[in-house]
Structure 1
Amino acid sequence: MRRVREEFLRHREASVLVVALGLGLYFMSVTDVFLSTANLVNIAQATAPAAIVACGTVLLLVSGEIDLSVGVVAALAPFMMHYAIDFWGVPAIPAILLALLTGTLIGFGNGFVTVVLRVPSFVTTLGTLYFVTGVVLTTSHAYPAEIPGPVDGAIGEWLGAADWAHLGWALVIVVFLHVVLTRTRWGLHTVAVGGNPLGAAEAGVRTARIKIGNFMIAGTLGAFAGLIEAFRIHTIDPNIGGGTGLMFTAVSAAVIGGTALAGGSGTIVGGALGALVLAVLQNGMNLIGISANPYFLILGLAILVSMIANVYLTRLRRAGRT
């Protein structure tokens, strides 16, 4: 049992998995509605966008950077699809790809300014956040738009309108990027760049390419999260993602899942489990009639406790006890 416990604790996802299971068991015991199909769909649809964005956030945090603009990129992408189809006559699939490319280009811009012009990523992406917000509100006149006809059907069902589409996409992205971070040279270099940038550069790692690439991944994932949310709610809303809400949720999920804000360590699966914990917590509180106001109090405590636990577990690992 001791060996099993030590093996379990070696994984950064261990603590957040225990929390997720504990919350699920608690809410199952206090309300029968929690395990109903409709409620599980609600949890999956609340978890998926945050988990998708958290994957990109984890890659950036591990490489020593952060992106504050992913939430508003999620709002811009569906409008780009709408403009391309309804105003520019672009076919459905190319319009969706254009929306994703918009996120990729914004990520490239963030990476270029941060890496090449040496502006701290916090400042760079804060500026991008306000700029993109202005673009969304100006071009949309702060009004929602309808889903374009060519994608309001099978494509929409496939991309998010169907009950379990969100979960399917989230699982595919989480598994793929987990393999990338843990089993590929890109992942190894991402960890090296975040843990010791100078040493990584001296070892021949192209640090600029790694960081800019991770910004582009994060931007693309933000755009994709915005698209599937638009299809889910069946409208294109300038407030998709709640402005900075989606970004803060993704960062919270990454931190709760065991990613270090200082860079050099993190886990994609942990970030996804962190998003699940936040979704289950908010959903369960609503079911048992607790006001939404204490949610932020609990969220703040969860972030602090998880960071303290991560620091403690890191010390134990370095001491060779786990």
Structure 2
Amino acid sequence: MASDTELRAVPGTEPRRAAGSGLARALLRRRELSIVLVAIAAFAYFSAGSYGTAFNTSNNYHILMQYLAPWAIIGAGETLLLICGEIDLSAGFTYTFVPFAFMSFYNQGLDVPLSLVLAIAVAMGIGLVNGLIRTVFNLSSFITTLGMGFFLEGMTYIQSGAEPTTPPIAGGLADFMGGWRWSELVWALVIIGVMQVALSYTKYGVYAQASGGNPLSAAESGIKVNRVKVATFVLTSLFAGVAGLVDQVRVGSFDPTSGGNTMMFMAVASAVIGGTALLGGSGTVVGTLFGAVLLAIIQNGFTLSGVSAYAFDVVIGIAVVAAMLLNVYISRLRRRYLR
């Protein structure tokens, strides 16, 4: 009778086991694995239901894009901030304010392109102020950006007179800024792709994760932690401003009641559901995209199936907690099998 050693030496046996083990390890390394599987399951469920015919149409896919694109764009910035151990509660109000900053410049006689550039500069300035207050005065980002959110909300109503306005953007520029049917989705995918590459393959990504995971050790190793955080606040506000311009140009109206806390919470929920750790140090921008996809599928599916809109908030609450629990479980598996 062959010994255990001889059995393990049978050609073909060990490679198959190694291949299976290698696949499991590869899957565990993907932080966004769980949310991808859940998103696929949700898509399959609504596609196969009695409302599947209405769900699987080009028009409905466009509606899904309208939901997920601004959440994913702002969520990209929130993901980077969460990885740094910070958060921006003013991002939804930046989304609303920047289009009216653009209108303010335009009404002063500046042309559309210059007004857009200055509005984007305003968005970045908001992030710069948030970052400097956080790092120079060591005030928590929660308090800093909460105050900024109230400030921007008030400024939006002052500038707009609490009335919506039609954006003076037309032609090819309008198509580029959101007027084309799928341009908002292209904006989201480009931003997500660029920031995931930056997070995974550049020094900025390493510094951001180190700054959030262990700020003291990062500083002692020579990383300018405060500079990294200020830069990330600027990026988050930039993305929020871009999302506000692109999304509201698509709608054809700058609305002072749009965005706000709802937009911010959906962006943060996308990041958290996508696997970003609230305590900092880890996360992926791609995971945030899939988090936004899942939330868009659920909201759209509920609408088609006639479920009350109030139930959507219940599902979001459950999804955030469930996602965190699942991520904790997968993290434990990762530590156990990837040692």
1:226–1:240 CA contact under 8 A, matched in 2: no
Counterpart AA for 1:271: T
Matching residue of 1:60: 81
Verify: 1:102 aligned to 2:122, yes or no.
Answer: yes
Verify: 1:231 aligned to 2:231, yes or no.
Answer: no
Structure 1 residue ranges (4+ consecutive) displaced by more than 3 angstroms after TM superposition: none
Matching residue of 1:17: 36
Counterpart AA for 1:264: G
Aligned-residue offset at 1:153 = 2.5
Verify: 1:33 aligned to 2:54, yes or no.
Answer: yes
Structure 1 residue runs without a partner (length 5+): none
Q: Distance in 2 between matches of 1:318 and 1:190?
A: 22
Structure exhibiting the larger radius of gyration computed from Cα positions: 2
Matching residue of 1:276: 293
Q: Distance in 2 between matches of 1:272 and 1:316?
A: 24
Verify: 1:154 aligned to 2:175, yes or no.
Answer: no
Q: Deviations over 1:141-194 (max 9, x none)?
A: 11111111xx22221111111110011111100000000001000010000000
Match of 2:235 among 185, 199, 217: 217
Verify: 1:170 aligned to 2:188, yes or no.
Answer: yes
1:62–1:263 CA contact under 8 A, matched in 2: yes
Q: Distance in 1 between matches of 2:282 and 2:276?
A: 6
TM-score by length of 2: 0.92
Q: Distance in 1 between matches of 2:295 and 2:21?
A: 30
1:34–1:284 CA contact under 8 A, matched in 2: yes
Counterpart AA for 1:223: G
Counterpart AA for 1:52: I
Matching residue of 1:141: 161
2:28–2:333 CA contact under 8 A, matched in 1: no
Matching residue of 1:249: 266
> How many equivalent pairs are there?
318
Q: Which moved more, 1:91-100 or 1:69-78?
A: 91-100
Counterpart AA for 1:23: A
Verify: 1:6 aligned to 2:6, yes or no.
Answer: no
Q: Distance in 2 between matches of 1:121 and 1:192?
A: 18
Structure 2 residue runs without a partner (length 5+): 1-19
Verify: 1:300 aligned to 2:317, yes or no.
Answer: yes
Q: Distance in 2 between matches of 1:209 and 1:261?
A: 20
Q: Which moved more, 1:211-220 or 1:29-38?
A: 29-38
Q: Distance in 2 between matches of 1:253 and 1:300?
A: 12
Q: Distance in 2 between matches of 1:158 and 1:45?
A: 15
Q: Distance in 1 between matches of 2:40 and 2:28?
A: 16
Q: Deviations over 1:238-259 (max 9, x none)?
A: 0222x11110001000000000
The CA RMSD measured in Å over matched residues stands at 1.1
Counterpart AA for 1:270: G
1:229–1:240 CA contact under 8 A, matched in 2: no
Q: Deviations over 1:258-315 (max 9, x none)?
A: 0000000010000111011001110011111111111111110000010111112222
Verify: 1:42 aligned to 2:86, yes or no.
Answer: no
Q: Distance in 2 between matches of 1:139 and 1:79?
A: 7
Counterpart AA for 1:138: I
For 1:199-210, list aligned pairs within 5 A: 199-210=217-228
Verify: 1:287 aligned to 2:307, yes or no.
Answer: no
Aligned-residue offset at 1:2 = 4.7
1:64–1:263 CA contact under 8 A, matched in 2: yes
The DSSP-based 3-state class of the residue aligned with 2:337 is coil
Aligned-residue offset at 1:82 = 1.3
Aligned-residue offset at 1:232 = 1.1
Q: Deviations over 1:11-69 (max 9, x none)?
A: 01100000111111111101211110000011012111000000000000000100000
Q: Distance in 2 between matches of 1:207 and 1:165?
A: 35
Counterpart AA for 1:118: N
1:110–1:215 CA contact under 8 A, matched in 2: yes
Aligned-residue offset at 1:321 = 5.0
1:19–1:277 CA contact under 8 A, matched in 2: yes
Q: Distance in 1 between matches of 2:152 and 2:34?
A: 36
Q: Distance in 2 between matches of 1:211 and 1:269?
A: 20
Q: Distance in 2 between matches of 1:64 and 1:272?
A: 20
Q: Deviations over 1:204-257 (max 9, x none)?
A: 00011100000000000000000011111101100222x111100010000000
